[in-house]
Amino acid sequence: MSIDILMTVLGEHYSYLLPSDLERLPPEADWSKQPRTYLNELRKIILEMVRCLASNHLEMKETKAIIAYLQDEGRKPEEQRLVVDVLQLFLVMIGDKSSNLLYHLGQMGNIKPFLPLLKSEREKLRVWTLKVIGKLVQNASGDINQKY
C-alpha cells in the first residue's frame, strides 16, 4: 500500500456523493448507503495510514499525489470538507522534522501549491489553507534564502 494509492482511494471512492461510475457496482459496494459515522471512521483510518506511511519515508511522487488531491478542481463543493481533513494532516506532517515533506514542498514552490485553495468559496477551507501556509512560513523563517 502506498500514499498515492490511498489518496486515489480517498479521492475516487470516498465520498458522500455517488459518482456515476459507481452506479454499476453491486449494492453492497455502494458507499453512499453506508452510515455517515462509518464513512467518517473510514476516512480517519485512511488519513492515519497516509500519516504513518509518510512518517517512514515520504517520496516526491507521494507528496505530489497529496498535492494533486488538494488541487483537484473537479471536486464538488460538498466534498471540500475532505480537503480540510487533508490540510489538517499536512499540519501534522509539517511539524514532523524527520519527514521529507518540507524538502519536497520546497522543490514544488513552497506555498505555491496551496495558493489556488485560497480561491475557494468555503471559508473553512481558506482558513485551514492559511494555517498550512503559516506553518510553512514559520518553519522556513530560519532560512533567509527560502523563496516563496
Say what the pLDDT of residue 29 is. 54
Distance in angstroms (rounded) separating the CA atoms of residues 57 and 70 = 20
> 0.75 exceeded by the pTM?
no
SS3 content of the chain, % helix, strand, coil (to 5): 70, 0, 30
Environment class of residue 88 by beta-carbon count within 10 Å: exposed (0-12), middle (13-18) or buried (19+)?
middle
Say what the pLDDT of residue 134 is. 93
**Which of 143, 95, 93, 136 lies closest to 117, judged by CA?**
136
Averages of pLDDT over runs of 10 residues in the chain (148 residues) are 77 54 50 63 82 81 88 73 86 79 88 92 92 89 55
